[in-house]
Chain A
Amino acid sequence: MRIDLKHITLIPLFILIGLLYGCSGENESSQKSGIDTGSGQANTQQNTASTSTEPGKLVLAKQQIFHRGNGSEPQSLDPHKSEGVPSSHIQRDIFEGLIGETPEGKLIPGAAERWEISEDGTVYTFYIRENARWSNGDPVLASDFVFAWRRLLAPETGSYYSQTFAPVLNAEAIIQGKMKPETLAAEALDERTLKVTLKGPTPYFLGLLTHSSTFPIHPASVEKYGDKFSRPDNLVSNGAYTLSEWVVQSHIRVDRNPRYWDNANTTIDTVFFYPIEDQSSALKRYRAGELDFVYEFPINQYKWLKENLPGEMRTPLYLGNYYYGFNVTKPPFKDNKKLRQALSMTLDREIIAEKVVTAGVVPAYGWVPRGVYNYENEEYDWMSLSKEERLAMAKKLYEEAGYSKDNPFTVEIRYNTSENHKKVALAIAAMWKQALGVNAKILNEEWKVFLENRKQKQVTEVFRAGWIADYNDAFSFAELLHSQHGINDSGYVNPEYDALLAQSAVEPDPEKRKTLLKQAERIMLEDYPIIPIYYYTSKRVVKPYVGGYVDNIMDHQYSKHLYILEH
């Protein structure tokens, strides 16, 4: 089953710095640095007038209709009630937060035309565009954001993503019901000026603002329609598109919003989002010409795609780590680091990544994936050893832990139903058996049962897990193994680790902060509460006539950046 998490974009350091040193009008640094890939048609954002009608010498199709595969049915289009990647893809098209993104995922002004950050990094002042409009013509006001954020945090809304806003002063107390939503440290200074005060310097805060839960909602229509405000006909939004049709389990149609401030640069008129859960069906519809964009192809078709549609398949790195956890709160793994290390070292990650999982995933020897903003990933020292040396070392550790061929270790691997998880579990069991003689029994569990067992930490020994970052920062990985974190299903506790994370949270200097986080990761890796296996990739197939498509590590793909070429 997929991991229902959203991800937030990277925050190039220069934007922050550029902003700190005074910014007025358009943010130049981001404008210039925004586009640098070689994929030819990436200029949409800048050469505005020409790109929308004639990108280079390419001829646009007469009908600008985009058929977009979108995984599963969105749970909701209400930014505060939705959860999961599919709804966020739609929300990024119909709403616009303060911060926008380039096709590569770099941060640029969105509904806010500029912003200022205080010296200590805790006070943000946003200036909303004069021409920002709701789809009914109302101006987008600073108070609309305040309204939305109060609703996001209000306990009675019950939002999955209220935690996103935890860096803002008072937010946590509001979530816990200890303070009123009105006390949130976000205030509208005037119609278009918004001041937000944070608890501490949070270098990834601007990136958080590309998360769909922070998008504004139209107060008048929420008051009028209540819970039904996010339906077609009712929904008033401020993005490049407006919701026009929603047939549950069939499709969602969005159409160009003529009142959007940057409407002149939008090329595609209509986007159909199809909730197609069955990946091979999605690929078939793509091949039959009904879809222009496959959200995720089935991995067993990777070889076929490579041979038959090589230019259309895209597998860029995605900010996630596929790993196995040890339950370190119970025997046999409690206080048995040697055994854990032996098991981790035995895995041939190259075979798992290249032959079992395929789709371009990258073998993982560390926790924070490559490509995270302002971070160099830590990796195990033994990564440099040859396979034979690793095995010899693993065998020695295994024997020191008290096991041998005659007295083999017996263990259960738990995973949730999915073809991929099954293959990985079987491969891992086979590798342990071959190398050490471990008797690994694999246990498949239904998703909710699996989650329950993982959280209870009573019956689990080794379990599958995966984590996709909510925002592009090493902390979004680091916090997972904090002793108090909700997804620390290994039950890993190391006060030293917790202390380093706490230090990093108040450290304003990015370099020092990085050092602290790297130090923490090193400590955790050496404790072996988890086995990193591979770093995720996106599994996309896109028609060659879809212009403007650029890979990005957060996989945020805005339809307004794309255009359909004649085909």
Chain B
Amino acid sequence: MLAFAFKRFLGAWPTLLLIITVAFFMVRLAPGGPFDTEKTLPPEIQANLDKKYHLDEPLVMQYGRYLWDIARGDFGPSFQYKDYSVNELIGAGFPVSLRLGGSAILLALIIGVTLGAIAALRQNSRVDYSVMTTAMVGISIPNFVMAPLLLLVFAVYLGWLPAGGWEGGSFRNTVLPIIALSLPQVAYIARLTRGSMIEVLRSNFIRTARAKGLPEHTVIIRHALKPALLPVVSYLGPATAAVITGSVVIEQIFGLPGLGRYFVQGALNRDYTLVMGVVIFYGVLIIVFNLIVDLLYAVLDPRVRY
């Protein structure tokens, strides 16, 4: 398995290069530039800015320059937030998103798997329906509705929790965003767990285990749960990467200094370096999490061989 991991590590580099290349040229092809504002700049100043940020060079040269810079670990200055470099912005935003997203995924995993497993064991019972209906609420209420609703009830009406802000990541400030982030994940995970659990429970090896007279909880926890988690693990890889890089909706509504908003703001502002920085960062995380997923597959399902 170590050899496999190493092979994947080597294989990740061309992937990364491709991500950078495609993203670089796509970003540059979008209409408008970073310094376009309603107030049109005099051509001389536009030229000065372009020169300063090397935007006046041929695209291929800019690409080469960019590759050389990131090879040295420098994502360049942000075009929008001129006092900061992209490295600094990611360095400041990622811990916030990681904490929020990590907590949300963990919470979702615990609740989701438990609910899904319970629903599967009581398939078509009232418990099953109520669990699954609740889960569906998590999916069918968009987070741009759920987040302001939570704020209105718990911060404005009841005054129990702050209505926003990060405050160094205090517990009180993170409760609502974590709940809002994890709700849809709980729903997805519960549904995936339920679906695959039902299938596993009907499979031959579970029947055998039961026939052997093993206690039900042993059958479920030691034999059924592990294979039933396969689709969940598949889902978790990219979902974790996405959640820990932040959610623009949650960050904007709760006023949190995470990474998610840079994806949208960076793109809308044509902040080339910032968008590229976040895309590359996100790409690396995806690669890493997919690798973890593949390794977990081998652990969870001994039939998978590499």
Contact = CB atoms under 8 A, between A and B. Distances in A.
Does a CB–CB distance below 8 Å link A and B in the complex?
yes
Interface of A: 3-5, 73, 75-78, 81-83, 155-160, 162-163, 175-177, 227-228, 230-231, 247-251, 274, 276-278, 280-281, 284-285, 287-290, 446-449, 451-452, 455, 465-466, 486-487
Given A77-B83, A248-B92, A448-B30, A487 B39 contact: yes
7 contacts: A75-B81, A248-B81, A248-B84, A249-B256, A278-B253, A288-B156, A451-B36
Contacts of B84: 248
Contacts of B166: 247, 250
Contacts of B253: 278, 281
Nearest to A247: B257
B31 A288 contact: no
B252 A4 contact: no
Interface string B36-57: 1111111011001100100000
Contact of A274 (B36, B45, B255, B261): B255
A289 B81 CA distance: 29
Nearest to B32: A448
Given A76-B81, A448-B31, A281 B44 contact: no
Contacts of B254: 281
Contacts of B142: none
Nearest to A467: B38
> Interface residues of B toward A: which range?
35 or more
Given A284-B152, A446-B268, A452 B82 contact: no
Contacts of A248: 81, 84, 89, 92-93, 257
A231 B88 CA distance: 13
Interface in B259-286: 261, 268, 270
B155 interface: yes
Contacts of A249: 93, 251, 256-258, 261
* Shortest 5 CB-CB contacts between residues of A and residues of B: A448-B32, A486-B40, A249-B257, A288-B163, A76-B82
Main secondary structure of the interface of B (DSSP, over half): loop
Contact of B255 (A76, A163, A278): A278
Nearest to B46: A158
A247 B268 CA distance: 22
Contacts of A78: 82-83
Given A228-B83, A248-B84, A451-B32, A156 B52 contact: yes
A471 to B, nearest CB: 13
Nearest to B41: A160
B163 A285 contact: yes
Contacts of A231: 83
B245 to A, nearest CB: 15
B162 interface: yes
A309 to B, nearest CB: 13
Given A158-B52, A230-B83, A452-B31, A276 B164 contact: yes
Contacts of B11: none
Given A276-B164, A288-B162, A247 B83 contact: no
Contacts of B49: 158
B252 A278 contact: yes
A274 B165 CA distance: 9
Nearest to B40: A486
Contacts of B255: 250, 274, 276, 278, 281, 285
A162 to B, nearest CB: 6
A11 to B, nearest CB: 22
A159 B35 CA distance: 11
Nearest to A417: B268
B83, B254, B258: most-surrounded residue (chain A CB, <10 A): B83
A285 B166 CA distance: 13
Given A250-B165, A274-B255, A452-B32, A155 B48 contact: yes
A162 B49 CA distance: 12
B42 A156 contact: no
B38 A156 contact: no
A281 B151 contact: yes
Nearest to A72: B265
B87 interface: no
Given A248-B89, A451-B36, A451-B38, A284 B81 contact: no
Nearest to B83: A76
Contacts of B42: 163, 175-176, 486
Contacts of A486: 39-42
B148 interface: yes
Contacts of B83: 76-78, 81, 227-228, 230-231
B156 A287 contact: yes
Contacts of B256: 249-250
A284 B45 contact: no
Given A250-B165, A250-B166, A486-B40, 11 more contacts: A157-B48, A160-B45, A177-B48, A248-B257, A249-B256, A280-B148, A281-B163, A281-B255, A287-B163, A290-B165, A448-B30
Contacts of A289: 159
B143 interface: no
Given A160-B45, A447-B268, A284 B155 contact: yes
B162 to A, nearest CB: 6
B62 interface: no
A251, A281, A290: most-surrounded residue (chain B CB, <10 A): A281
A75 B251 CA distance: 18
A285 B258 CA distance: 18
B234 interface: no
A76, A158, A175: most-surrounded residue (chain B CB, <10 A): A158
Interface string B117-149: 000000000000000000000000000000010
Given A78-B83, A284-B151, A160 B52 contact: no
B114 interface: no
Contacts of A250: 165-166, 255-257
Contact of A176 (B32, B40, B44, B93): B44
